[in-house]
Amino acid sequence: MMASTSSTRRVAAIIALLAAAGIVVGLALLVIRNALAVVIAIAALAVAGYAGWLAVTRRGLTRTVAAAAAAGALIGGIAALVASGATDELIVIAISFGVFAAAAPFALRHGDQERHTARQGSPRRDKKILIVNLHPVLNSGIVDQYIQVAVFFCDPFIKFFPSF
């Protein structure tokens, strides 16, 4: 017998929450056991961020040196964590992150039947209504500009000029 969609989504949500808890536990163990290495890794991440910003915003030799500095800082931060013996915690964090990344989208996905039943209560409008409260001739330039923007963004609507 096949399980219902909501129960499988619930199981996926529980797995995602457990994986998130695994990430938190792994990070806590990493900080407790290897505090100095974590501080060095965070400093390396800050240096890499600044060097990456310079690499993106500058040109020429500065861009090349900044990109190399960013890569070196990231490699240095990883090396500090590995050299301090934090590989067990990093493996726990990586596996937990992978499980979370796989389970969370499945838990948040809506089934076709659920979408259909949710739509039955209130009909979905496919078109928006643009109501122009000013005189149609005086306001036609603004309306035409809105139409061009709406058509550009594939936004279907109905143009409506109320009579006074």
Q: Are residues 46 and 115 in the same domain?
A: yes
What's this model's pTM, rounded to 2 decimal places?
A: 0.55
Query: pLDDT digits over 106-129, tens only?
Result: 888 876 555 555 555 545 555 555
Q: Are residues 132 and 115 in the same domain?
A: no
Which comes out higher in pLDDT, residue 132 or 14? Answer: 14
Does the CA dihedral 134-140-146-150 come out positive or negative? positive
Q: Are residues 62 and 139 in the same domain?
A: no
Q: Which domain holds residue 69?
A: 5-120
Which comes out higher in pLDDT, residue 2 or 60? Answer: 60
Q: Are residues 46 and 100 in the same domain?
A: yes
DSSP codes of every residue in 117-133: HHHHHSPPPSSEEEE--
Mean pLDDT within 85-102: 91
Q: What does the mean pLDDT of the chain come to?
A: 77
Which comes out higher in pLDDT, residue 116 or 50? Answer: 50
Q: Are residues 114 and 129 in the same domain?
A: no
Instruction: Indicate the pLDDT class of residue 1, thresholds 50, 70 and 90.
Output: very low
CA distance 75 to 26: 21
CA distance 92 to 33: 14
